[in-house]
Structures are given as C-alpha cells and as structure tokens.
Amino acid sequence: MKNIVIVGCGKGIGHATAEILSEQNKIIGISRTINPGVNHANITFHQMDILSGNLDEITFPEVVDGLVYSPGSINLKPFNRLSIDEFKSDFEINVIGAVKVIQKLLPNLKKSESASIVLFSSVAAKLGMPFHSSIAASKNAVEGLTKSLAAEFSAHKIRVNAIAPSLTDTELASNLLSTPEKKEASAKRHPLQRIGNAEEIAEMTAFLISDKSSWITGQIFGIDGGMGSVKL
C-alpha cells in the first residue's frame, strides 16, 4: 500500500482522486475545505490553506510515493481589469503552493522506489483564449515547472507530469456552468460536444500516480474533449 499526498482533496478533482486512490493506498489529504465525504478509512485529512499553513504541523510518512497538487483558480476578466494582485494570487495558488509542498516532501519522495508527482495545467495554457491572461500565465508556469522538475528529479526516479483539462463540471467552475444555457454553450465549444467531469480527470491522475505509468515523465496530458488539438 502506497502513501499518497493529495493537496486540494476537499472537493472537485482532488476529492474524486482521493476516492479512487484510497481504495488501494493510504491518503494524506490536505485542503482548506472540509468535505464530509472525505471519510474513507485510508484517508487522513488535514484542514489547511497550503499557502498560509505550516506543513511542519503535519506528520508525513517517511516514504511518500505520490503527490497530487490540485488547487486551482478560474479568474476570467479582460486584461485591463485584472489587478497585479490578482495575477500574483493566481500564480501563488497554482505555482507557489505546488513549489512549497514539493520542496517539503522531496526528501520523502526520494525514499520511494517509484514516486510520482501530478500537477494541473489548463487547456488555456495551450490555446490563446480571451479573458484568460492570468490563468494562462500561471498554468504555463506549471507546465514549465513540470518539465524542469521531471528532468531534475529523474536521477531519483521521481516522475513529474501534468494534466491540462478544459472546463470541468466542478464547484470551481460553477459560475460558468450555473444555467442549462451556459452548460450547453460550453459543451458546444468542445469537439466532443460536452464538458468533462471530475471523475474522468481523477482516473487519469490515478493512472499517472500508479506504476502503470512508470515510463512516463515530463508530459502534459490534455483531457479537454479535443479542444486543445481538434478543430471541426
């Protein structure tokens, strides 16, 4: 049974990932949001804001085999209405939080025989999309971090990959999917004519954490209904 740390397990993709992975692994979950559904016997939950919290307060296993960092942001505004503080906030949530927990757990990950880190980008890092300048900037940073760490950590047999979803039906995207009309319009923007769900992204996350993906590192996986690569 492996030890997997999931940051952002309180809801959305992180929660769905914890549910899948907890069946065969021990999960150390960290989230600023308490979710009553995170109650599997194999899940130890810690309520903490990853940016302001002190990770030294959590007792991690000596060996950590997997790390999933799933917090994110959707801050869509015209460029001239985005403040510098908003750019900083998106960068901190998406990049600095990941850096903080990776630096904390790197000694534990090095002790694993087959460690894996999964980060999250966005289809907006690949496509130029209006009103996405802040999120696209921070998610491109995630992709650069993914590839750089994959190279740096390969000597320790630590794999690093990222998933780049399109719009997914989670609480984070609730404002964009708040009416049937909005859902239909969003679905039609995708070649597969629907939006994604958290469980689909979580299944890919679980695969990348598992030994089934042991020869995969430094990759960005677009799970986006074809939006990032198909034009109809």
- pLDDT at position 84, please? 97
Which residue(s) pair with 222 in the sheet? Answer: 164
Quick one: which of 140, 118, 119, 120 has its CA closest to 129? Answer: 140
Report CA-CA distances (Å) from 202 to 87, 90, 107, 184, 198: 27, 22, 26, 23, 6
DSSP label of 96: I
Residues 167 and 196: beta-carbon distance below 8 Å:
yes
In a domain, residue 17? The reply is yes
Please give the Cα distance from 16 to 22 (Å, whole number).
10
pLDDT of the residue at 181: 80
Q: Which domain holds residue 82?
A: 2-223
Domain harbouring 129, CATH code: 3.40.50.720
In the three-class reduction of DSSP (H, G, I as helix; E, B as strand; rest coil), residue 2 is classed as strand
Pairwise CA distance, residues 19 & 199, whole Å:
9
Please state the domain count of the chain: 1
| Within-domain flag for 183 | yes
Q: How far is CA 9 from CA 21, 140, 213, in A?
A: 11, 23, 22
Q: What is the pLDDT along the chain (232 residues), one digit of tens a residue?
A: 999 999 999 889 999 999 999 999 999 999 998 765 666 789 999 999 999 999 999 999 999 999 999 998 888 999 999 999 999 999 999 999 999 999 999 999 999 999 999 999 999 999 999 999 999 999 999 999 999 999 999 999 999 999 999 987 777 766 767 678 878 877 788 889 988 899 999 999 999 999 999 999 999 999 999 989 998 7
